[in-house]
Structure 1
């Protein structure tokens, strides 16, 4: 393939190609780009002519990327993402503007929100936008500045910094513990209903937390259980006397102090995963992200080895 000149037409065609490749549909790409379907098809044809290579195999009611198209999609997505993030960084060299952060739902509700006012008060010119999700962020295509993950810290191509560790142990209501004779009797769990966070971390199984704890203490667990898509829901279910939940220390401190939950046996286990702040490598030293990391470092100072 001979190197084409990056004219406005080629750049426009590359953007159109990227959207069409992501959607695998000229019609859906046209809707996103506010163009007609024929205009999208024309742009792609002109791009193929300029590059002298076929990018799509057009089948009835279906588009298929050629091998060349697959290679170009990867390169264009990466470089368009780099350009978009660099433009955003140039426009927000000061601590102002939109700041988009992705955080696991229960971490956001139980840990971050009670502290967030201190960050917002410290940087009033930043417009903080919080989105909750258990899935990992695609920093190439999504406009998040950074994210907080509960994981192993290994995120290829990204910058990650440990915020704090985590420990976990079973919790339930006092009434449930009495009814099931749980105090100092972990073997009684076999007759209890276990409450599972179905997505404790990305790509986790529904009972991974419980199994990890049980293996540490050689405790037999019942097969029956209820699952929830958020840890705070499993904890609320435990408060209601429905069963026994696996509680992370950072989520249950206040509930234990208030008596809403109890730990029927003092058998904590250090979690194999930790909390990390994650972002694109080239964004790690941007003023906004650095300010957020510095603030989080102070807030988690007493919990790094929880």
Structure 2
């Protein structure tokens, strides 16, 4: 069976199809591609005619991918991602050009940023782009070179290296600890206001960290609490005397040293999750990733 020719028209249609399938809207695809909605619709119709298959079921208020459309989307996303990364790598063979990294927000603020000056100083030709997010990266459709995750380390299809383990313990202000008689009395947490990081890791529950700590130490926790969408906000609230936050050692070491926060009882627990650096398998061999990974290892060590 002869394969269909990948003409310019077909390639353009495939790119248009991928955007439309990702957005599930011809209108939003048109905005992204700077085309009219009718132009996008025409491109998709022409592609369907060239391929001899129907890709979308057009319903009054939504689009639905056919089974053929789902299969084609998976293949096109994977291969277009390979092409985009390869083109960029051809332009940035040496330690120069753009280097895009996704990192959890509080990890970026409390651990990475205070150290980043040294890495940038070593590689002045490398344009470092940091983006913060708690959710996982889609390396097939997004142009991140690598990401740091806080998780279990199981990311199929990706190159994964453990960066460091983590431990955690309750922290608050000295004044709050005195007012609630917390020093040496973990049972009195039940009368305190707990401060939660609502998204400590991808797909986590808003009180997962507190519950994990409490179960291992047999401590009863109050039901009431405040939630924040970043761990650093919960820690800042603890500094302000609002309540007690669950602090990761990598986040609170500095505050504990300068007494902005205190640990009213030495009841640390090893976190079930660790920090990992992940990337596409091909990217793991690039000089840029190796330089960044080696620098991270030296900082952790």
TM-score range, shorter chain: over 0.9
Ranges in structure 2 where 5+ consecutive residues have no aligned partner: none
User: Structure 1: 5+ residue runs without aligned partners?
Assistant: 302-306
What is the CA deviation profile of residues 109-161 of structure 1, one whole-angstrom value per residue up to 9, with x for unaligned ones? Answer: 10000000000000000111111111111111111111100001101111110
Aligned residue in 2 for 1:219: 219
Aligned ranges 1:177-216 → 2 under 5 Å: 177-216=177-216
Number of residue equivalences: 301
- In 2, Cα distance between equivalents of 1:27 and 1:170: 49
The corresponding residue for 2:243 is 243
Distance in 2, Cα, partners of 1:270 & 1:109: 22
1:3–1:51 CA contact under 8 A, matched in 2: no
| Distance apart, 1:38 and its partner CA | 2.5
- The whole-number CA distance in structure 1 between the counterparts of 2:37 and 2:229 is 39
Could you say which residue in structure 2 is the equivalent of 1:170?
170
1:238/1:245 contact within 8 Å kept: yes
**CA distance in structure 2 between the partners assigned to 1:2 and 1:222 by the alignment:** 68
Q: How does 1:136-175 map to 2 (within 5 A)?
A: 136-175=136-175
The aligned residue for residue 68 of structure 2 is: 68
Instruction: Tell me, in whole angstroms, the C-alpha distance in 2 between the residues paired with 1:169 and 1:150.
Output: 17
Q: Is the 8 A contact 1:99 1:126 kept in 2?
A: yes
Q: TM-score, normalised by structure 2?
A: 0.97
1:304 aligned residue = none
Cα distance, 1:58 vs structure 2 = 2.0
Q: What is the aligned partner in structure 2 of residue 113 from structure 1? A: 113
The aligned counterpart of 2:280 is 280
Would you say 1:42 and 2:42 are equivalent positions?
A: yes
CA distance in 2 between counterparts of 1:217 and 1:188 reads 13
Whole-Å Cα distance in 1 between the matches of residues 90 and 130 of structure 2?
A: 22
SS of residue in 1 equivalent to 2:148: strand
- Residue 2 (structure 1) shift: 5.9
Match of 2:298 in 1: 298
Partner of 1:260: 260
Q: Moved runs in structure 1, 4+ residues, more than 3 A?
A: none
What CA distance in whole angstroms lies between the structure 1 residues aligned with 2:163 and 2:77? Answer: 30
Q: Deviations over 1:209-264 (max 9, x none)?
A: 01111111101111111111111111111111111111100111111111111111
Distance 1:23 1:57 in 2: 14
* 8 Å contact kept, 1:17–1:44: yes
TM-aligned CA deviation for residue 10 of structure 1 = 1.0
- Larger mean CA deviation between 59-68 and 74-83 belongs to 59-68
Task: Give the CA RMSD over aligned residues.
Answer: 1.2
